[in-house]
């Protein structure tokens, strides 16, 4: 895996960092060299970070934990949406709304409002409003759909937040740290790795680089989801076998069953039956 992954990373330009003049000194352990005024990321560190992140995300998914993917920059938004949908996890690809995590109750109420607007648009009730009101409701719907659609499945706070470029998504990082949520991030040479729990050093501006890293992370989540589903199925089978074993060891006799049914009868019915037979 390592050799093929190294080749993929080089082809995707994962190792290209920012201009040396823009670097964050805390990224020094992840930098391999400086070439033509540009820092080159150490691919070995990228692979280490990616493998650690994959292992962690797989564990979270196997426990049915939610993982929120965040990437609102132009180069990342499409990939974030596609990979999140593929691994069936919530995402933010357009705009990070203040309080998305720290004021989650309000976000849930806005999602309820989005569902109300969709129901309104689907039915005939919208035609009862004036043209001006219809236009206002349509604008409200489009704005809410754009900003909140990716979080529909987030019924509770996530266990982990995956970010592309912590500098761009600093509000998401700040809210995650405030709530003690684990953060995974693709970080370039201009970022501060100390703000992220599981940093993956690499190019966070190249579409191909972002696609490669996010695809690998989504694959890990899918593996975790499959593990959770298999475990749930195994538990169901174990319960069925246990029930069958109990039934075999303690069978209910026909007489006992009949006696129970007789005891459960209404006393008035029993009295009527006896009077009829006596007559």
- Domain region containing 198: 2-101+157-230
Q: Indicate if 46 and 68 belong to the same structural domain.
A: yes
User: Residue 63's CB: how many other CB atoms inside 10 A?
Assistant: 12
**What HEC string does 124-182 produce?**
CHHHHCCHHHHHHHHHHHHHHHHHHHHHCCCCCCCCEEEEECCCCCHHHHHHHHHHCCE
Choose the weakest-confidence range: 24-33, 57-66, 91-100, 121-130: 121-130
Q: Indicate if 97 and 165 belong to the same structural domain.
A: yes
Residue 260 falls within a domain, yes or no? Answer: no
Q: What is the mean pLDDT of residues 38-56?
A: 97
Residue 70 falls within a domain, yes or no? Answer: yes
Contact 58, 227 (CB under 8 A): yes
**In total, how many domains does the chain have?**
2
Per the DSSP assignment, residues forming a β-bridge with 185 are 163, 199
For residue 203, what pLDDT band results from cuts at 50, 70 and 90? very high
Q: Indicate if 118 and 91 belong to the same structural domain.
A: no
Inform me whether the pLDDT recorded for 209 exceeds 60: yes
Q: Which residues contact 149 (CB under 8 A, 6 or more apart)?
A: 114
For residue 124, what pLDDT band results from cuts at 50, 70 and 90? confident
For residue 265, what pLDDT band results from cuts at 50, 70 and 90? low
pLDDT of residue 198: 98
pLDDT of residue 172: 98
Inform me whether the pLDDT recorded for 182 exceeds 90: yes
For residue 279, what pLDDT band results from cuts at 50, 70 and 90? very low
Q: Indicate if 201 and 113 belong to the same structural domain.
A: no
Residue 34 falls within a domain, yes or no? Answer: yes
Inform me whether the pLDDT recorded for 227 exceeds 50: yes
Q: SS3 of 241, please?
A: helix
For residue 121, what pLDDT band results from cuts at 50, 70 and 90? confident
Residue 239 falls within a domain, yes or no? Answer: no
Residue 207's H or E segment, with its range, is: helix 207-249
User: What CATH number has the domain bearing residue 144?
Assistant: 1.10.287
Inform me whether the pLDDT recorded for 238 exceeds 50: yes
Helices (H) and strands (E) in the chain, counts: 9, 8
Q: Which residues contact 154 (CB under 8 A, 6 or more apart)?
A: 66, 68, 90
Inform me whether the pLDDT recorded for 111 exceeds 70: yes
Residue 118 falls within a domain, yes or no? Answer: yes
Q: Indicate if 13 and 124 belong to the same structural domain.
A: no
């Amino acid at each position: 895996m390592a050799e093929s992954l190294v080749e993929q990373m080089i082809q995707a330009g994962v190792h290209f960092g920012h201009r040396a003049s823009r670097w964050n000194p805390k990224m020094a352990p992840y930098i391999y060299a400086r070439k033509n005024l540009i820092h080159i990321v150490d691919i070995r560190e990228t692979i280490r970070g990616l493998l650690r992140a994959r292992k962690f995300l797989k564990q979270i998914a196997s426990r049915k934990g939610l993982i929120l993917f965040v990437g609102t920059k132009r180069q990342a938004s499409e990939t974030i949406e596609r990979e999140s949908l593929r691994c069936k996890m919530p995402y933010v690809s357009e705009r990070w709304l203040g309080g998305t995590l720290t004021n989650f109750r309000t976000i849930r109420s806005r999602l309820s409002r989005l569902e109300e607007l969709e129901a309104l648009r689907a039915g005939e009730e919208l035609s009862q409003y004036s043209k001006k009101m219809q236009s206002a409701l349509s604008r409200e719907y489009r704005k809410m759909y754009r900003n909140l659609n990716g979080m529909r499945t987030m019924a509770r706070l996530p266990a982990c937040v995956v970010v592309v470029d912590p500098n761009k998504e600093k509000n998401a990082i700040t809210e995650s740290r405030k709530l003690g949520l684990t953060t995974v991030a693709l970080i370039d040479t201009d970022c501060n790795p100390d703000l992220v729990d599981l940093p993956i050093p690499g190019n966070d501006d190249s579409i191909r680089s972002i696609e490669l890293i996010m695809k690998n992370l989504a694959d890990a989540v899918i593996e975790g989801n499959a593990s959770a589903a298999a475990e749930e199925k195994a538990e169901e089978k174990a319960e069925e076998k246990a029930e069958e074993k109990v039934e075999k060891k303690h069978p209910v006799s026909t007489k006992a069953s009949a006696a129970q049914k007789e005891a459960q009868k209404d006393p008035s019915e029993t009295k009527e039956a006896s009077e009829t037979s006596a007559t």
